[in-house]
Amino acid sequence: MGKQSAYIAKLPDEAGRIYYTPEEDSVWADLYAAQESGVAAHMSQVYLNGLTKLDMPKTRVPQCCEISERLGKLTGWKVAPVPALIGFGRFFGMLAEKTFPAASFIRSRKDFDYIEEPDIFHEIFGHTPLLTDPRIAAVSEAIGKAGLKAEKKDYSWLIRLYWFSVEFGLLLEDGAVKGMGSGLASSPTELPHAVVSDAPERREFRILDVLRTPYRIDIHQPIYYVVDAIDDLVAMSERDLLTDVREAQSLGLFAPTYPEKTDA
Binding site for Fe cation, by residue number, is: 122, 127, 167
Cα separations in angstroms, 66 against 55, 130, 139: 11, 16, 23
**CA-to-CA distance for 115 and 113, rounded, in angstroms?**
7
Total residues found in the chain within this entry: 264
Binding residues, by number, are: 122, 127, 167
Q: How far apart are CA 181 and CA 44, in angstroms?
A: 9
